[in-house]
Amino acid sequence: MSKSALADKRPELTAVYPSHYYQEDEIHLGELLRNLLGQKILIGAVTLLGTLLAIVVALTLPKTYEVTAAVALPTQNQIEPININGIETMSVDDVFELYFRNLRSSRLARAYYDSQQFHLVGAEPEASFEREDINNAFAGFLDSFSVKVVEPDYLNLPKDAEIPQELVAISLLHNDGQAAADFVNGFLSFVEAKTIQQIKNQQSTEIRLQKSDIEKNINGLLDRAKRERETRIALLSESLAIAKSIELSQPATLQQAMVISESFIEQPQPSTRMSVEELTLLSEMLSGSEQDKKDRKQAPDSRQDANEFQPSYLYLKGTQMLQAELVQLSNRTDDSLYIRELPLLQNELSKLNSYNLDFQGLELKTTELEAFAPKSAVKPNKKLIVAVAFAGSLFLGLFLALIAIAIRRDEERVEHRPHLA
């Protein structure tokens, strides 16, 4: 028989593997737990190492403290010094709105930040800051500084305290709790002083405007009185010349006035001729008793002076009266005594000059909570860091344990694989 025939009749050899070799990668839960338990040292070591590392990191991270102060609306008594002058009445809401707006002013925050050199807090003693460095530091400060309206529950204030429904909370995050508390409390006082000065300036401006208006009115009245006096002097001078020309030294009687009036009939201006009624009243005013003059002056429809008829009739007073009045008006140096409206205006001006803008005892806020240095930091959250690190390390240890189990199973599979001759 040929070799080829023998080869065809040779039985085929089949490799035989252990039965567990054909179970692929199936692992029962019990077996998995037993395998993980066998890797407990690895899992425990990784978990412990990660947790210890997290503790070290949590202890070495810089601490950040949060300080908070809270203010509320002032009382009516606290703002009373503003309204005592009556210049510009402001309500409690008006005052606190202005104060709240200034608390949120970045300009005032920067002014106080620079005045306290707050960029140096927590910095190295030998550190130097350029203007750009300070600007960057202030930008970071603004990110950690907040002014907002909150409810009392936000601050965990005592339940039995009489606290307004709304408060303004001023908060600051910083690595120096005491410095942050001092800054917040100081900033509240700084803004209050600036706001009071702002109110003072507003009222001072209002007073200045009112005084200016009154002074303009007074000057206008004095100028008008001066013009009227000068006009009167001119009329008296003209009338005196006429009285001298007709040799009328004493006030004209009714008959004299009628005769003189008739003499002006041919004048081109008919207004120079007086009616009988005017002549009669003029004569009574010129020659009547003082009581008659007083009675006519108090009458609502009476004319108080002869020159209220026609200025050109003044010559009927005669040279003596005209000369006396002319001398009196010419020698007058102060017209204020003859202006009826002037005393009232001067009284208003004196009142404005006496207003007190010191605002002693003025308060723009009610402090419900002062900022203080906290005992514990808000950052880093050590418990959270350690808890997250523990959980992460545990999962990492389990993952490494599973990898180790998989590698060992592959090694066992290779060891039990039969070798073919």
Max Cα–Cα distance, the chain, nearest Å: 192
Which residues have C-beta within 8 Å of that of residue 297, sequence separation ≥ 6?
A: 304
Question: Which structure tokens are listed for 51?
Answer: 């947790």
pLDDT of residue 146: 94
How far is 43 from 45, CA to CA, in rounded Å? 6
Strands 366-369 and 145-150: unpaired
pLDDT attached to residue 112: 96
Cα 70 to Cα 74, 100, 157, 187, 372: the distances in Å are: 13, 12, 10, 12, 11
Domain match, 44 and 85 both: no
- Residue 148 placed within a domain: yes
Give the burial class of 344: count Cβ atoms within 10 A of its Cβ; 0-12 exposed, 13-18 middle, 19 or more buried: exposed
pLDDT of residue 297: 47
Its domain, for residue 70, covers 63-207+355-369
In a domain, 325, yes or no: yes
Q: What's the pLDDT at 300?
A: 41
Q: What pLDDT, on the 0 to 100 scale, is given for residue 380? A: 76
Task: With beta carbons less than 8 A apart as the criterion, state whether 192 and 79 touch.
Answer: no
Ranges 83-92, 227-236, 302-311: which has the least confidence: 302-311
Task: Tell me: pLDDT of 367 over 90.
Answer: no
E-strand ranges in 119-254 read 145-150, 167-174
Q: Is residue 2 part of a domain?
A: no
Q: Is pLDDT at 152 greater than 90 in this prediction?
A: no
Judgement on whether residues 68 and 141 belong to the same structural domain of the protein: yes
Cα(first)–Cα(last) distance of the chain, in Å?
26
| CATH code: domain of residue 181 | 3.30.1890.10
125 and 261 fall within a common domain: no
**What's the pLDDT score for residue 25?**
52
Least confident of 100-104, 205-209, 269-273, 355-359: 269-273
Same domain as 329, residue 310: yes
Query: What is the pLDDT, as a whole number, of residue 183?
Result: 95
In one-letter notation, the amino acid at residue 180 is A
Confirm whether 247 is domain-assigned: yes
Residue 329 has pLDDT above 80, yes or no: yes
- 304 and 250, same structural domain? yes
| pLDDT tens digits, 198-239 | 998 988 888 899 999 999 999 999 999 999 999 889 988 888
Joined together, the tokens standing for residue 216 give: 């303009």
Residue 417 included in any domain: no
Residues 85 and 195 in one domain: yes
The answer as to whether 199 is a domain residue is yes
Asked if residue 144 lies in contact with residue 173, where contact means CB atoms within 8 angstroms, the answer is yes
**With pLDDT > 90 as the criterion, what percentage of the chain qualifies?**
24
Both 339 and 360 in one domain: the answer is no
The reply to whether 14 falls in a domain is no
Domain shared by 97 and 202, yes or no:
yes
Determine the pLDDT at residue 266: 47
How many domains does the chain contain in total?
A: 3
- Determine, yes or no, domain membership for 220: no
**Residue 283 pLDDT level (bands cut at 50, 70, 90):** low
Q: For the chain, what is the mean pLDDT? A: 79
Q: Please, which pLDDT band fits residue 180 given cuts at 50, 70 and 90?
A: very high
- Higher local confidence (pLDDT), 85 or 335: 335
pTM of the entire structure? 0.64
Residue 193 sits in the same domain as residue 73:
yes
Residues linked to residue 173 through DSSP beta bridges, in sequence order = 66
Q: What is the mean pLDDT of residues 276-284?
A: 60
Confidence of residue 166 (pLDDT cuts 50, 70, 90): confident
Residues 49 and 84 in one domain: no
- 85 and 57 within one domain: no
Helix (H, G, I), strand (E, B) or coil at 351: helix
Based on the fold, state whether residues 148 and 81 are members of the same structural domain: yes
